[in-house]
Structure 1
Amino acid sequence: MAKRIVLFMFMTFTSLVLSGCLVAESKYLKKAEEADALGREAATLQEMHRELSAENGTLKAQLSRVKEEAAVLAKEKEKLSADNRELDQVLRSKTDSLSQTVADLRQKVSDLEDENARLKEEIAAAQKAREENVRQVSKTYEDLLDSMKGEIAQGQVTISELKGKLTVNMVDAILFDSGEAEVKQGGMDVLAKMVDILKGVQDKMIRIEGHTDNVRIIGNLARRFPTNWELSAARAINVARYLQSRGIDPAVLAAVANSEYRPVATNDTGEGRAKNRRIEIVLVPRDAP
């Protein structure tokens, strides 16, 4: 009985030992498998760490480049902003200047328009005055032609009209005796035919011009008239005095001596010299030289 109990106990103990060994072995195998799995996972994680480290370096390098580029762009942006501010200031200044220029030009245009309107009025008035002057000169011309048609027919007087200038050309013989400067009676009669017509002339100067030939004055006559200057002056003055005595305003009269220096014909012939010895009564505008 006792042997059976011992044997049972031995068998029980052996069973327990074997069972414990089996359990221990199972745990070991399990731990070994876990360690192997962890090793593989660690290796995998180490490889991932290396890859991530390499990628991190690459990203850091890219980040550094991006920061540098951003810094460059920031500087360029600041420069552009400064340029824009300067450009805006320049444009504002030019705009203000152009605005002032436009205002000045508008004022000038307005002034020119006013001046042009005034000039047009003056031109119209001048044109009207010119037309009136032409009409008046033409009427004076026609009246003189009619009044002196006898002398004109005899070739003693010629009357011409050119650009508002009317000239009555009279040979000296019709007005003066040879070598004399006083107007003779026949000359006064001729001049009298023009007096009323000349009195009606307005806004004109009556210029009496004395002309001679180039023959030198000699003998006793030279004591009175040393040269043809004195003779032409004396004759022009005496005609002016006669017209004044007949009521023509002396303020519109002028006596001019031309001597021999404005001939209308050659002095080489008697006929030419006779044409050069003359008195011209010229009607000219008051502002004419």
Structure 2
Amino acid sequence: MARRSRRSIRSELNAWPGYVDALSTLLMVIIFVLLVFVLGQAFLSVALNKRQQALTQLEHEVAKLGQMLSLERSHTSALQHEVAGLQKTHEADAATATSLTAQLNQQTSERDNAQARATALDEHVAQLRQQLSALSTALDVTENDVRERDRKIDALGMQLNVALAEKVEQLQHYRSEFFGRLRDVLQGHKGVQIVGDRFVFQSEVLFPPGGAELSPEGVKEIRILAQTLRQIAQQIPSDVPWILRVDGHADRQPIHTAFPSNWELSSARAITVVKLLIAEGIDPHHLAATGFSDYQPLDHGTTQEAFAHNRRIEFRLTDR
């Protein structure tokens, strides 16, 4: 009887290592599945980050795609939340698996229940794999949608360039008409000339020496210009972004007036002209005043004639 008891005890002891091997194999499978999940999560996170970077680089000029981009970001955010939820679920499952392992090590009498729980865990891991596969498919669909939107953006960009070219052509037409009318009105006026795309008034025509207050003759000249500009402005469509830039220029001679330098003098003269244009009914949204001091000369000579040539007010009809 003693021998039989010993044999029975040895049989039970031999069954225990086989169970430990099975449990080790199960743990390795669980660790492998966790590793696959973590790698899948990393790749999915990298892919989502790339998509987010691609979305943030879209040109801000294409305002019509704002809603589409917002929907795409919302979709990406939903995917991220879903992945985060899956990760939390997986962490909870990992905690459950750890608890099961501890119970199996302490309570050999509950082997059948532990095996059932392990089977349930395998089924849950299979479900996680299916969810990862579905997420991968959804990510592929998202990439295709992004590529399609990129193609649409390129097409819209080409349309925008064509529209901008048309607006520039319209502005060129109205600029030519504006300068043509001014040329007819001011033809023969001393100190007034056209240089390239600019209408140039010598400062002596508009201002007293060293001053920024318009002379009576200067007021008259600017009112003529304002009248012509009002007529042209009525013909320019509201969607053409035009602006009349008033540039003040001085010579390089030091000044001894109330102005500290030629910067202040040239800027003050340009602002004075702009104020009179506004008083004459020109929309201030279409006006700009700039001062260039003596750093944009027309004549680099040192004679009084060269200095007088450089003291000027220029008008340029351009786009914003």
TM range (shorter): 0.5 to 0.7
Query: Does the alignment pair 1:132 with 2:170?
Result: yes
Distance of 2:247 and 2:304 partners within structure 1: 21
Residue 274 (1) aligns with residue 308 (2)? yes
Indicate the SS of the match to 1:168.
strand
Corresponding pairs, count: 183
Native 8 Å contact 1:175 1:188 kept in 2:
yes
Name the structure 1 match of 2:8: none
What does residue 248 of structure 2 align with? 210
> Matches of 1:142 and 1:159 in 2, distance apart?
13
Distance 1:241 1:260, change over 3 A: same
Match of 2:192 in 1: 156
Distance change (3 Å), C-alpha of 1:256 and 1:196: same
Match of 2:267 among 233, 236, 253: 233
Amino acid corresponding to residue 150 of structure 1 in structure 2? G
Mapping for residues 1-289 of structure 1, pairs under 5 Å:
106-151=144-189, 154-161=190-197, 167-199=198-230, 200-201=232-233, 202=236, 203-218=241-256, 222=257, 224-286=258-320
Listed as ranges, the gaps of 5+ residues in structure 2 are 1-133
Distance 1:233 1:106, change over 3 A: closer
Cα distance in 1, alignment partners of residues 251 and 219 from structure 2: 23
Task: Say if 1:186 and 1:262 are closer, same or farther in 2 by CA, change over 3 A.
Answer: same
Tell me which amino acid in the other structure corresponds to 1:175: L
Q: What are structure 1's unaligned runs of at least 5 residues?
A: 1-95, 162-166
Alpha-carbon offset, residue 125 of structure 1:
2.1
For 1:246, the aligned partner's letter is E
- For 2:184, give the aligned amino acid: D
Alpha carbons of 1:155 and 1:177: their partners in 2 closer, same or farther (altered >3 Å)? closer
Deviations along 1:28-80, one digit per CA (max 9) or x if unpaired, are: xxxxxxxxxxxxxxxxxxxxxxxxxxxxxxxxxxxxxxxxxxxxxxxxxxxxx
One-letter code of the match for 1:160? G
Question: After superposition, what is the alpha-carbon deviation per residue over 1:93-137, rounded to whole angstroms, capped at 9, x for unaligned?
Answer: xxx9x9999866654543333223323332332232222222222
The alignment partner of 1:150 has SS state of coil
Please provide the CA RMSD for this pair.
2.9
Does the 8 A contact of 1:145 with 1:159 survive in 2? no
Q: Distance in 2 between matches of 1:159 and 1:268?
A: 21
CA positional deviation for 1:196? 2.3
CA distance, structure 1, for counterparts of residue 260 and residue 158 of structure 2: 54
Corresponding residue number in structure 1 for 2:45: none
In 1, Cα distance between equivalents of 2:289 and 2:300: 25
CA contact (8 A) 2:255 2:262 kept: yes
The separation in 2 between residues aligned to 1:106 and 1:244, in whole angstroms, is 54
TM-score (norm 1): 0.55
Q: Deviations over 1:234-288 (max 9, x none)?
A: 22221111111111122322222222222121241111111111111222212xx
- For 2:145 and 2:261, the matched residues in 1 are separated by 64
Which protein is bigger by CA-based radius of gyration? 1
Greater mean alpha carbon deviation, residues 197-206 or residues 271-280: 197-206
Give the Cα–Cα distance (whole angstroms) in 2 for the partners of residues 277 and 239 of structure 1.
15
State how far apart, in whole Å, the 2-side matches of 1:109 and 1:227 are. 57
- Relative to the length of structure 2, the TM-score reads 0.50
